[in-house]
Amino acid sequence: MANVQAVGEQNFNEAVLASDVPVVVDFWAEWCGPCRLVGPELEKIQTEYEGKVKVVKLNIDEAPSVAAKYGIMSIPTIALFVDGDIKSQVVGARPKDDIVMGLGLNA
């Protein structure tokens, strides 16, 4: 996910919770095979929804307190944050259209 911004414990509040646009957060880890499958799908979402949503990724191994705060038990978990709260989420590797539908981006 070369074009998707990485966030961590230091900048999660600013990049996600204080964002003036909805934020799609990919909770992932280096060792997670299915997480690597989701990366290109999220890049497609970032391109298609540019200006409407922001897409970021958070490595749960590097930011365990953030993952714990939001009860992330399985990865990949893709969550839609609106006004600082999780509005919807999708768990597991899914194609772009399933992620979009699961998060309610096409509504």
Q: Hey, what long-range contacts does 82-85 have (CB within 8 A, 24 or more apart)?
A: 82/22, 84/16, 84/17, 84/18
Could you give the residue numbers annotated as active site? Answer: 32, 35
Domain 5-103 has CATH 2.60.40.10: no
* pLDDT tens string 7-66: 999 999 999 999 999 999 999 999 999 999 999 999 999 999 999 999 999 999 999 999
pTM of the model: 0.94
pLDDT in tens, 54-90: 999 999 999 999 999 999 999 999 999 999 999 999 9
Domain positions in the chain are: 5-103
